[in-house]
Structure 1
Amino acid sequence: MRRFMSARADSLLRHPAFVAFWFARIASGFGFQMLSVAVGWQIYAITGRAFDLGLIGLVQFVPSVLLALPAGHVADQFERRRIVLLGQIVEWIAIAVLAGLSLAHGIHEVGILLLVFVIGIAKAFEFPALQSMLPALVPAEVLPRAMAVNASAGQAAMIMGPALGGFLYVAGPGVVYTVCGALYVVSVILMGRLRYEQAPPRREPATLKTLFAGVHFIRARKDVLGVISLDLFAVLLGGATALLPIFAKDILHTGPWGLGLLRAAPAVGALLMSVWLARHNLQRRVGAIMFASVAGFGVATLIFALSTTLWLSLLALFALGAFDMVSMVIRGALVQLDTPDDMRGRVSAVNAIFINTSNQLGEFESGMLAAWMGAVNATVLGGVGTLLVVGLWLAMFPTLRRRQRLHVEAAASDGPVADIL
C-alpha cells in the first residue's frame, strides 16, 4: 500500500518546475493571508470604524474587475513567468513600504489603503498569468492532480496564515509585514529560477476584439461556458459562510471559539479533499462527478441551515468545503485543458471576473436575504437554489453531463483560435 501511494506522489515530484511553482505559491499565499490580517487589525486600531474594513475589500475588488480583461490580454502577449515576477516584486515593494512606515510609526489609514490598492493592481495582472502557467508545467493527464496539490497550498495558507499573522501581530504590524516581505522574497526567487517553456506569443494590438476574445471563446465552447456559469450561480446562491456570525451567536449559541471552528471547517474539508485528489486521478465520468459535487454542496448548505447543534453544523461545513474542492478541481482543469495556450490568459481573466464577482455578490445577497427573511430561511433558499441550478444545468449542458474524461475530450475540442476571434 505504501509503495502504491509513493508511486502516485512521485509522479508530480518528477516535475521540478511544478515543485518550485508549488513552493512559491505556499510562500506568497502565506504572506498574503498574514498581510490581510495585519491590514485589517491595523486599520481598525487606527480608525475604529467598521466602514474602513469594508474599504479594504473594495480597493482590492475594483482593480481585480476593471483590469481583468487587459491583464488577460497581457498574459497572452508576453512571457507569463515575467508577468508573475513583476507583479510579485511590486507587491513586495508595497509590503516593504508598509513595514517601514509601521516600524517608524508613520502610517495612517489612507496610506494603508493606497498601498493595498497597489497590491490589488499587481494581483490583477498576476492572477491570469499565474493560472495560465500551470498547464505548461505538467502533462495534461496529471493536471487535475496538480491543480489539487496547488489548491492545497492555498487552503493551508487560508487555515494557518491568519493564525500566524495574528500571533506575530502581538509584536506589532511592522513585524508581520516584515515576515510577509521575506515570504514574498522566497516566492520571487523560486519563480525567477523556475524553468518554464511557453510558445512564442502571437503579438496582437490591444483592441476591443482581442480584449473580449476570452468572452467570445467561452460563449463558443459549451462545456467551458457550462462550468464557469455553474460556478457563478452556485457561489451566488450558496453563501452560507457569510452568515456564520449569526449562526454562531443566535442559533448555535456558541462564542468566538465556536465561530472560529465554523470558519475553519470548510477550509479543513477542502484541504483534506485536495490531498485525496492529489493521489487519485479523475479518470471517468468527470461531468457527472462535478454535478454531483455541486449538488452535494447544496445539500450540505441545507443541512447547515437546519442544524441546531454545533457538531452537525461543523460536519456540514466540512462536507461543503470538500464538495466544493472536487468541483473546483474539475472545473479548473476542464477550463485550462479546453483552452488553447495562446488564449489561456484571457479566458483565465474572464473566469477571475466571475469568481470575484460571485464571491462578493454572494456575500451581499446572503446578507440582504438574511436581513429580509432571517439567516436560516436565507440559507435554506440558497441551498434549494443551488440544487435547482444543478438541475437546470444538467438539462442545458448535456455534453458536459456526459463528459467522461478531461484531457482526451479537450484535445478533440480545441479549435483554431482564429475561429473564435
Structure 2
Amino acid sequence: MQPDTPLKIADYRRYWLARFLAVFATMSMVVLLGYQLYEVARADYGMSVAEASFYLGLLGLAQFIPLFVLTPVAGLAADRFDRRHVAAFANGIDALVAVLLAAMTWADALNIPILFALAAAHGTARVFVNPAMSAIAPNVVPPAMLPRAIALSSIAWQTASVAGPAVGGLIFARAEWLPHAISAGMLGAAMVLILTVRPIRAKHEGPPLKPLRQIIEGMVYVWRERFLLGCITLDLFAVLLAGATALLPVFARDILFVGPEGLGLMRAAPALGAAGVALWLSFRPLAREVGIKMLVAVAAFGALTIAFAFSRNFFLSLAILSAMGAVDMVSVFIRSSLVQLFTPDDRRGRVSAISGLAISASNELGEMQSGLAAAVLGATGAVVFGGAGAIVVTLIWAWYFPELRRARSFEPQELKREVTT
C-alpha cells in the first residue's frame, strides 16, 4: 500500500532531518560571518558605513566564485556518483569551515582575509551539496507525491532558516564562538543521516557519456528547453536585483540600531513567513494556474522589498520581511516543482546544479550588487533600486517566456503539453 505522505517513508524522514540540520547550521554560520565581517571592518579597520557595505558585497562575490567555477563539476558528480556520498562530503567541508570559524573567533584571530577565505570555502561546499540534495528527493518518493515532498522539504529549509539565524544571533551575543561550534556538530550529524538513506544513483538510459560531454549536454538541455530556461533565469535576475539580505547588517547596526540579536531576527523573519506558507502547501498544494501565480509572487517580492527599504520601525521591518518570505516561498515551491517534474531523472543532477547556480548567483551576486549600489546610493536607495528592478524583470519574463504563463498544473504529462503548445 502506497503511503499517503512522504513522512511515512523512512528514507525521506532521514533526508528531511539531514536537510534541516544542515540548513540550520549553515544559515547561522553565514549570517554571523557577514555580521563579523561588517563589525571587523567598522571596528578594527575603521571603515565608514559605505566602505564596510562595499566589503559585504565583496563577501558575496567570494562565495559566488567557487560556485560559478565548480557548478558543472557538482552537477556531474550528482549524476555519476552516489548522491548521498556527494552530499555528505560537502557537509563535511562545511563542518570544517564551522570549526575554523569557532576556533578563530574564540582566539580573537579573525581579520578580513580570513573571513573571505572561509566564505569561499563555504561556497565550495554548497555548490556540491545543493544539486545532490535536490536530486535525492525525487528518488525516494513516488512522482505523484513529489510536490508534497518538495513542500515538506521547504518546511525543513525555512524552519531551519528561521531558527538558525535567530538562535545563532542570541548565542553569539553571549559567546561569539559557540554558535559556530554548534553548527559544526549539526553538520556532522547531517552527514551521518544522509549516509543512512539507501544508495541513490541517477537512472541512465543507454551507455554513460564521457564527463565533459555530460556537462555540455546538461547546459545545452537547459538552454534549448525554453520553459526550464525561463523558470531558472526568472529567479536569477529577480532575486539578484531584489536581494536586500546583504545589507541587513547595515540596517541592524546603523539604521534600525538593533545589533546582532536584531540581525538574527531580521534574517529569520523571511524564513518564518516562508515556513508558514510551506506548511500550508504541504497540506493544500497549489494545483491550477501555477505559472501565473509564480509570476505574481515574484512581482510581489519586488514590491515588498521597496516597502522594507523605507521602514524605520523594527517590528514593521520584521513584518515586511516575513511577507517577503511568504511570497518568495510560493515562487520557490512552484519553480522547484516545475523544474524537477519537467526534467528526466538522468539529467536532474546537472539541471539542479544549473538551477542552484542561478539561485546562488542571485544571492551572492545580488549581495555584491547591493553592496556596490549601497556605496553609491546608500542602503535605502540600493534596496529600492533592487525591488523596482525585480518588478521590471517579472514583466519582461512574462512577455518573453509565454511558456511560464501557460503552465497550469503539476501533472508531468499535462505540463509538457501545456508549455510546448
Calculate the TM-score normalised by the size of structure 2: 0.81
After superposition, the Cα gap between the structure-2 partners of 1:38 and 1:305, relative to the gap in structure 1 and judged at 3 Å, is closer
Question: Can you list the C-alpha shifts for 1:293-342, whole angstroms capped at 9, x where unaligned?
Answer: 11221232343345565555443332221111100111111111111111
Q: Could you tell me which residue of structure 2 aligns to residue 194 of structure 1? A: 197
Could you say what secondary structure the match of 1:404 adopts? coil
Mapped contact 1:244–1:262 kept (Cα < 8 A)? yes
Q: Does 1:28 align with 2:22?
A: yes
Aligned pairs for 1:47-66 (under 5 A) are 48-49=44-45, 57-66=60-69
Q: Could you tell me which residue of structure 1 aligns to residue 140 of structure 2? A: 137
Equivalenced residue count is: 403
Q: Offset of 1:272 from its aligned partner?
A: 1.2
Question: Can you list the C-alpha shifts for 1:28-69, whole angstroms capped at 9, x where unaligned?
Answer: 222223433665677767993469877765543322221111
Q: Which runs of 5+ in 1 are unaligned?
A: 1-8, 415-421
| Aligned mates of 1:170, 1:385 — CA distance in 2 | 36
Aligned pairs for 1:231-310 (under 5 A) are 231-244=235-248, 255-256=258-259, 261-307=265-311
> Which protein has the larger Cα radius of gyration, Structure 1 or Structure 2?
1
Aligned pairs for 1:68-83 (under 5 A) are 68-83=71-86
| Aligned mates of 1:72, 1:89 — CA distance in 2 | 18
Mapped contact 1:238–1:386 kept (Cα < 8 A)? yes
Mapped contact 1:34–1:161 kept (Cα < 8 A)? yes
Mapped contact 1:59–1:113 kept (Cα < 8 A)? yes
| Aligned mates of 1:242, 1:113 — CA distance in 2 | 15
Mapped contact 1:137–1:196 kept (Cα < 8 A)? no
Aligned pairs for 1:78-89 (under 5 A) are 78-89=81-92
| Aligned mates of 1:111, 1:66 — CA distance in 2 | 21
| Aligned mates of 2:379, 2:126 — CA distance in 1 | 33
**Residue identity matched to 2:86:** I
After superposition, the Cα gap between the structure-2 partners of 1:87 and 1:379, relative to the gap in structure 1 and judged at 3 Å, is closer
| Aligned mates of 2:306, 2:270 — CA distance in 1 | 15
More displaced, 278-287 or 120-129? 120-129
Mapped contact 1:85–1:188 kept (Cα < 8 A)? yes
| Aligned mates of 1:233, 1:100 — CA distance in 2 | 37
Mapped contact 1:269–1:322 kept (Cα < 8 A)? yes
Q: Offset of 1:78 from its aligned partner?
A: 1.3
What is the percent sequence identity of the aligned residues? 38
Q: Could you tell me which residue of structure 2 aligns to residue 325 of structure 1? A: 329
Q: Offset of 1:230 from its aligned partner?
A: 0.8
Aligned pairs for 1:85-96 (under 5 A) are 85-93=88-96, 95-96=98-99
1:336 to 337, 340, 355: 340
More displaced, 86-95 or 265-274? 86-95
More displaced, 378-387 or 59-68? 378-387
Mapped contact 2:58–2:368 kept (Cα < 8 A)? no
| Aligned mates of 1:194, 1:120 — CA distance in 2 | 25
After superposition, the Cα gap between the structure-2 partners of 1:308 and 1:142, relative to the gap in structure 1 and judged at 3 Å, is same
More displaced, 18-27 or 234-243? 234-243
After superposition, the Cα gap between the structure-2 partners of 1:373 and 1:152, relative to the gap in structure 1 and judged at 3 Å, is same
| Aligned mates of 2:382, 2:104 — CA distance in 1 | 43
2:152 to 149, 160, 181: 149
Mapped contact 1:34–1:166 kept (Cα < 8 A)? yes
Question: Can you list the C-alpha shifts for 1:349-386, whole angstroms capped at 9, x where unaligned?
Answer: 21222222222232333344444445555444433332
Could you say what secondary structure the match of 1:212 adopts? helix
After superposition, the Cα gap between the structure-2 partners of 1:124 and 1:391, relative to the gap in structure 1 and judged at 3 Å, is closer
1:345 to 330, 343, 349: 349
Calculate the TM-score normalised by the size of structure 1: 0.81
